[in-house]
Amino acid sequence: MNKNNIIASTKLFVKNELKYAEGGHDWFHILRVYNNAKLISKNENVDNLVVELAALLHDIADPKFNNGDESIGPRKASEFLLSENVDSVVIEHITQIIENMSFKNSFDLDTSFTSKEMEVVQDADRLDAIGAIGIARCFNYGGFKNRALYNPDIAPNLNMTKAEYKASEAPTINHFYEKLLLLKDQMNTKTGKRIALNRHKFMEDYLKQFYAEWEGDK
Question: What is the mean predicted confidence (pLDDT) over 3-8?
Answer: 94
Q: What is the mean pLDDT of the chain?
A: 93
Q: Is 160 exposed, middle or buried (0-12, 13-18, 19+ CB in 10 A)?
A: middle
The answer to whether the predicted template modeling score (pTM) of the entire model surpasses 0.75 is yes
Q: Give the span between the Cα atoms of 10 and 30, in whole angstroms.
A: 11
Contact 57, 80 (CB under 8 A): yes
Element (H, E) at 80: helix 72-83
Measuring CA to CA, how many Å separate 47 from each of 42, 51, 118, 119, 125?
11, 6, 10, 12, 17
Q: What's the pLDDT tens digit per position in 44-79?
A: 999 999 999 999 999 998 888 887 778 899 999 999
**Per-residue exposure over 46-77, b if at least 16 CB sit within 10 Å of its own CB, e if not:** bbbbbbbbbbbbbbbbbbbeeeeebeebbebb
Q: Give the span between the Cα atoms of 96 and 74, in whole angstroms.
A: 8
115 residue type, one letter:
S
Give the dihedral of Cα atoms 118, 191, 175, 17; nearest 10 deg: -50
Q: How far apart are the first and last CA of the chain?
A: 58
pLDDT at 107: 58
Q: What's the pLDDT tens digit per position in 119-140?
A: 999 999 999 999 999 999 999 9
Q: Give the span between the Cα atoms of 86 and 47, in whole angstroms.
A: 14
